[in-house]
Chains A and B, each alone.
Chain A
Amino acid sequence: DAGVTQSPTHLIKTRGQQVTLRCSPKSGHDTVSWYQQALGQGPQFIFQYYEEEERQRGNFPDRFSGHQFPNYSSELNVNALLLGDSALYLCASSTRGWYQETQYFGPGTRLLVL
């Protein structure tokens, strides 16, 4: 059983560019959450997708957007990249339901903005 997978593993962009990160959830999971982990920090919640809609959102600007596909996979898009967007982006999958559901994380995509 494949766990959560993310692509690409690493990415280098320049300021002002746009980036798309991809995530495939664990088999049987229908919900995808995205987190940003800056160097030396704990992950910060960006948003969560379920039934192809954004259900919850953290304190991130509209430059951060996402999408979920019918097969439950998801994309994270970041527009107008800033140097401060350099971070590890983590995807987590779970089943929709009570808050006690465990989120399983992928290995992450490391984004460097120059």
Chain B
Amino acid sequence: AQSVTQLDSHVSVSEGTPVLLRCNYSSSYSPSLFWYVQHPNKGLQLLLKYTSAATLVKGINGFEAEFKKSETSFHLTKPSAHMSDAAEYFCVVSDLSNTGKLIFGQGTTLQVKP
């Protein structure tokens, strides 16, 4: 069965410094992986997705993620944090046995300090 583990429940950075949100996945097959962001009282917005085309995936708002099969990781990075990046971030894997189902991690709260 597929699963994802977000290694940090809370990450705090200063504005202008790099962001690293860590995610490990478990899958028997080559997975589809996503990062979604949720701002307070908002729905989920897709940041980026990996579907086996390229291991380095670029998303919106300067975010990118690298798929590393050997490490079963899909960490999200951004070179320079903005105040507007403060939100909840979810690492997500698509369930191969249940094509309608997305499996979410527990989420990482990103705090950006001025």
Q: Which residues of A contact B (CB under 8 A)?
A: 4, 31, 33, 35, 40-45, 47-48, 50, 55-56, 58, 90, 92, 98-100, 102-108
Contact = CB atoms under 8 A, between A and B. Distances in A.
Interface in B22-74: 32, 34, 36, 41-46, 49, 51
A33 B90 CA distance: 17
B106 A42 contact: yes
Given A55-B100, A56-B99, A100 B94 contact: yes
A4 B44 CA distance: 11
A106 B45 CA distance: 9
Contacts of B34: 102
Contacts of A99: 32, 94-96, 99
B interface, how many residues as a size bin?
20 to 34
B46 A100 contact: no
Given A99-B32, A102-B49, A43 B44 contact: yes
B102 A107 contact: no
Nearest to A44: B104
Contacts of B51: 100
25 contacts: A31-B100, A33-B102, A35-B102, A42-B104, A42-B105, A42-B106, A43-B102, A43-B104, A44-B104, A45-B98, A45-B101, A45-B102, A45-B103, A47-B100, A48-B101, A50-B100, A55-B100, A56-B98, A56-B101, A102-B49, A103-B102, A104-B46, A105-B36, A105-B43, A106-B43
Contacts of A42: 90, 104-107
A93 B98 CA distance: 16
A39 B102 CA distance: 18
Given A42-B106, A48-B101, 8 more contacts: A42-B104, A45-B95, A58-B101, A92-B44, A103-B102, A105-B36, A107-B41, A108-B43
B32 A100 contact: yes
A45 B46 CA distance: 17
A107 B96 contact: no
